[in-house]
Amino acid sequence: MVKNKRTEEDFKSGQVLLIDKPLTWTSFQVVNKLRWHIRKTFNIKKIKVGHAGTLDPLATGLLIICTGKFTKKINEYQAQTKEYTGTITLGATTPSYDLETEINKTFPTAHITDELIHKTTTQFIGEIAQKPPIFSAIRKDGKRLYELARVGETTEIKSRLVTIHYFEITKINLPEVAFRISCSKGTYIRSLAYDFGLALNSGGHLSKLRRTKIGNFSVDDAVTPLAFVEDL
């Protein structure tokens, strides 16, 4: 049985594409690749393509890509609850709170027990105040914060309220702690990793991250950018 292919009109009328973002790709690169191949395949001069929520280059997982008239739905999808799995490495911090930058400080971990780790997660469930990382895409005075950080400029970042629906520890193999988390729009898992380290009287940074769900959409139903292109 031949699978029905999407048509030019399908993409213009609007499509929701579930993409599994590969490691090191930016969300912008995914959008660009899909837009270029859609335009090339159907000989379209211009078509709107956008994503509903950025993933950092060192994160993998679910990106919702909208085309055509469905780009108007992007804010709706961005507002939905998100689920992630990942790993926090304790005993060290980095300026970016992940592996984008080198370790800048180390901390003791000998006092950290499995019981303490599980107990500490309760501090991060519900509505919490969180400061975004300085290495983030938030704009201040017309510039992205990461642009200021990369040239050594410091700036005051205000805390914002976010909601953590659940924060589960799935495996402990110190210094690595694996987790699954469900959270509201605007939550920075990198900041949570950093704050979690502090709460343990140590340090921490995010060493692995994968987005598994956005609302009712699951990465299990997503395809890689290359698989999408091959199926056009």
What are the extents of the domains in the chain?
8-79+216-231, 82-214
Instruction: Give the strand pairing for 92-93 and 82-90.
Output: unpaired
Contacts of 113 (CB under 8 A, 6+ apart): none
Matching fold, domains 8-79+216-231 and 82-214: yes
H/E element, 60: strand 59-67
Pair 149, 100: CB distance under 8 Å: no
Please state the pTM of the whole predicted model: 0.90
Q: In order along the chain (232 residues), what is the average pLDDT of each group of 10 residues?
A: 74 96 96 96 95 94 97 96 98 94 96 98 97 67 52 68 98 98 96 98 98 98 96 89
CATH class of 82-214: alpha beta
d(CA 48, CA 122): 42
Closest CA to 34 of 193, 165, 226: 226
Known active-site residue 56: yes
Closest CA to 68 of 35, 40, 36, 41: 35
Which residue among 56, 98, 114, 195 is the active-site one?
56
Confidence at residue 134, expressed as pLDDT on a 0 to 100 scale: 77
**83: which 2 tokens?**
């689920």
Confidence at residue 135, expressed as pLDDT on a 0 to 100 scale: 64
Fold entry, domain 8-79+216-231: Pseudouridine synthase (3.30.2350)
b/e 146-176 (16+ beta carbons within 10 angstroms → b)? eebbeeeeeeeeeeeebebeebebeebeebe
